[in-house]
């Protein structure tokens, strides 16, 4: 009894000491501010006028003369100024790394994966990924997988939905499952049916969503010491995050085990190329697997979901796309258009870019300033300050896109009928500079192939399509409540 009593007293003392230390740190950091922006953030009063935090940020950035604002309680400078973006991502790249604070936020989930590291570790992974993704053999391999998944799974699923009574399906859910299957094959050379998992794949997907949401929540905390303390004590949201990451690790371990079992010396998938070039450390390979899943499932699914949501509201765009597709394919009737013919579809390409201008899969990205600096718009940034560029807000800036920024107009990307991209520093949906997305072309080809295959055979009417779009907090844009849509066969393609 005495031993238990002493143990209880010791535990109470430790917890009390930790809480007292946290309070002192909190007071020293002074995570509050009396300016109207910080007060609105802390009180959440912005929610009375805006449905999403990103929409409030976009409003503030449009109102700012420089396109830059400060959220003092977060120690964060947020910008939608293309000159600042170029300065951070190219001109002064070395002074704006991801930084240790950012790595700490996402470290439990992403580990030392390419999205969460700087320096030599980042350069090595980027070099490996560049060699793989730049390979003609890998691109051909990936296109073959996407085409096969469309023929075998996606189109039959949509056909069955269209032919049943209500014809309703959640497009977001469909795209997330499709993207997960394709990324497993492209990145790991595995069909998820071959994985020997202890629970249904849906539970692993839910764990990934939970980990993304809770990791992102860390970045919105005005006092990081709070989530760090919760992690130390293994309570609340941090306990939930730990449980989700444990499940994700089980999935990664099974992927690695299966890849080793099947061999990787002559395989074209991305994981095999990494495994053949480095000493096989499971922790390192685990971080690679998670990075591929994040980019390949969430980003692609987000891009496709927002595209069909917008397309449902703009029948004229759907009609123009079908006209271009018919002109290019000349009605050959193939379920999947060839890679070469996809390149000729400039209007389709423009429509995808326009969709991601308004709804980028990754709404913002943060760096940390190493040494005191001054951005091109005159904003002083002190060392260790978080600096965020905001693609979601940038797509809504009149100073960048003109007074019609709120309109869905694929034509803004066409010059004489030919797709003409803008500077990536005006449109950093795929990042820009030295960290520009290496999977950009692969993602565009996958989305373009899916879209062309779907719009030529089906019409999609999003139910309550005029409702306000609300996003679930996370590392990529996910629409709350999904995107339920009624699927019908196109009249011109209706079967007898």
pLDDT single digits (tens) 297-352: 889 999 999 999 999 999 999 999 999 999 999 877 778 899 999 999 999 999 99
| Rounded Cα distance, 386 and 384, in Å | 7
Report the pLDDT value the prediction gives residue 357, as an integer from 0 to 100: 98
Question: Which segment of 158-167, 234-243, 254-263 scores lowest on mean pLDDT?
Answer: 254-263
pLDDT at position 263 is: 78
Question: Average model confidence (pLDDT) for the chain?
Answer: 87
Q: Look at residues 337, 328, 296 and name the one whose alpha carbon lies nearest to residue 143.
A: 337
Residue 193 has pLDDT above 70, yes or no: no
Spatial CA neighbour of 94 closest among 367, 313, 339, 281: 367
According to the model, what pLDDT value does residue 334 have? 79
- The pLDDT assigned to 493 comes to 44
pLDDT of residue 494 exceeding 50: no
Lowest mean pLDDT among 84-93, 119-128, 431-440: 119-128
Task: Quote the pLDDT of residue 24.
Answer: 47
Reply yes or no on whether the pLDDT at 26 is more than 60. no
Is 437 annotated to bind ligand?
Answer: yes
Query: Is residue 483 pLDDT above 90, yes or no?
Result: yes
pTM of the model as a whole: 0.89
Q: Supply the pLDDT for residue 271.
A: 83
Cα 377 to Cα 59, 66, 164, 310, distances in angstroms: 18, 6, 57, 34
Residue 292 pLDDT class (50, 70, 90 cuts): confident
Domains of the chain: 31-95+116-493 (1.10.630.10)
User: Residue 32 has what pLDDT?
Assistant: 63
| Residue 382 CB contacts under 8 Å (≥ 6 apart), including other chains | 369, 372
* Percent residues over pLDDT 90 in the chain: 59
- By mean pLDDT, which of 25-29, 98-102, 202-206, 374-378 is the weakest? 25-29
The mean pLDDT value for 371-377 works out to 97
**Per-residue pLDDT at 19 exceeds 50:** yes
Reply yes or no on whether the pLDDT at 14 is more than 60: no
pLDDT of 124? 84
Strand partners, 169: 485
Q: Which of 105-109, 179-183, 423-427 is most confident?
A: 423-427
Mean pLDDT of 119-125: 86
- pLDDT of 374 higher than 90: yes
């Amino acid at each position: 009894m005495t031993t238990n009593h002493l143990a209880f007293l010791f535990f109470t003392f430790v917890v009390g000491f930790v809480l007292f230390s946290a309070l002192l740190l909190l007071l020293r950091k002074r995570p509050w501010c009396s300016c109207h922006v910080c007060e609105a953030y802390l009180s959440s009063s912005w929610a009375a006028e805006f449905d999403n935090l990103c929409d409030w940020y976009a409003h503030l950035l449009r109102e700012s003369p420089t396109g830059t604002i400060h959220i003092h309680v977060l120690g964060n400078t947020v910008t939608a100024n293309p000159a600042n973006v170029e300065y951070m991502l190219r001109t002064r790249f070395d002074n704006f790394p991801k930084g240790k604070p950012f790595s700490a936020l996402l470290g439990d989930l992403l580990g030392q994966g390419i999205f969460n590291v700087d320096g030599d570790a980042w350069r090595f992974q980027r070099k490996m990924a560049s060699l793989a993704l730049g390979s003609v053999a890998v691109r051909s391999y990936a296109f073959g997988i996407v085409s096969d998944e469309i023929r075998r799974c996606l189109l039959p699923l949509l056909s069955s939905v269209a032919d049943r009574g209500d014809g309703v399906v959640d497009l977001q859910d469909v795209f997330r499952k499709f993207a997960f299957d394709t990324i497993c094959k492209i990145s790991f050379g595995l069909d998820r049916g071959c994985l020997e998992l202890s629970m249904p794949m849906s539970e692993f997907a839910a764990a990934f969503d939970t980990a993304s949401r809770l990791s992102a929540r860390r970045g919105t905390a005005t006092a990081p010491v709070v989530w760090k303390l919760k992690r130390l004590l293994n309570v609340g949201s941090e306990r939930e995050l730990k449980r989700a990451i444990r499940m994700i690790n089980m999935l990664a371990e099974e992927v690695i085990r299966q890849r080793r079992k099947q061999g990787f010396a002559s395989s074209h998938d991305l994981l095999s190329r990494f495994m053949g070039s480095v000493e096989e450390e499971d922790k390192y390979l685990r971080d690679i697997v998670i990075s591929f899943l994040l980019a390949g499932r969430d980003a692609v699914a987000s891009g496709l979901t927002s595209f069909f949501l917008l397309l449902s509201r703009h029948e004229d765009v759907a009609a123009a796309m079908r006209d271009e597709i018919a002109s290019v394919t000349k009605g050959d009737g193939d379920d999947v258009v060839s890679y070469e013919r996809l390149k000729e579809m400039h209007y389709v390409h423009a429509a995808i870019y326009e969709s991601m201008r308004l709804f980028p899969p990754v709404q913002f990205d943060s760096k940390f300033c190493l040494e005191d600096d001054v951005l091109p718009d005159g904003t002083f940034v002190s060392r260790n300050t978080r600096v965020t560029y905001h693609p979601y807000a940038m797509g809504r800036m009149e100073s960048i896109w003109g007074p019609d920024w709120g309109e869905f107009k694929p034509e803004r990307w066409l010059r004489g009928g030919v797709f003409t991209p803008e500077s990536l520093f005006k449109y950093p949906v795929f990042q820009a500079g030295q960290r520009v997305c290496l999977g950009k072309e692969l993602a565009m080809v996958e989305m373009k192939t899916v879209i062309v295959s779907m719009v030529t055979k089906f019409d999609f009417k999003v139910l309550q399509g005029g409702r306000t779009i609300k996003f679930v907090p996370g590392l990529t844009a996910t629409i709350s409540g999904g995107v339920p849509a009624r699927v019908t066969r196109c009249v011109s393609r209706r079967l007898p």
